């Protein structure tokens, strides 16, 4: 089984797109750069876990 590589970096303002992009670039660089893992024609999935400081919300329960 191939093990995945993970980088975890906290984003100060996850609601600011530019900061998310900057942190994503830092994370990739910490892992050694895309060239280390990705070859020509490879497909890549990047799954950021973004949590925003918003109050919980629910919808009315309908039966």
More confident residue, 16 or 60: 16
Query: Which pLDDT belongs to residue 3?
Result: 79
Per the structure, the count of domains in the chain is: 1
By C-alpha distance, which of 9, 4, 22 is closest to 49?
A: 9
Residue 26: both structure tokens together: 């830092």
Per residue in 4-52, pLDDT (tens digit) is 788 888 888 888 889 989 998 999 899 999 888 889 999 888 777 766 6
Query: Which pLDDT belongs to residue 33?
Result: 92
By C-alpha distance, which of 47, 56, 48, 52 is closest to 12?
A: 52
Domain hosting 43: range is 1-63
C-beta separation of 42 from 6 below 8 A: no
Query: Which pLDDT belongs to residue 34?
Result: 86
Distances (CA, A) of 28 to 18, 19, 33, 45, 54: 16, 14, 5, 12, 28
């Amino acid at each position: 089984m191939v093990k995945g590589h993970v980088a975890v970096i906290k984003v100060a303002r996850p609601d600011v797109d530019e900061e998310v992009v900057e942190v994503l670039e830092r994370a990739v660089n910490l892992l050694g750069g895309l060239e280390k893992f990705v070859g020509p024609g490879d497909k890549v999935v990047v799954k950021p876990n973004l949590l925003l400081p918003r109050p919980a919300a629910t919808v009315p329960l309908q039966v």
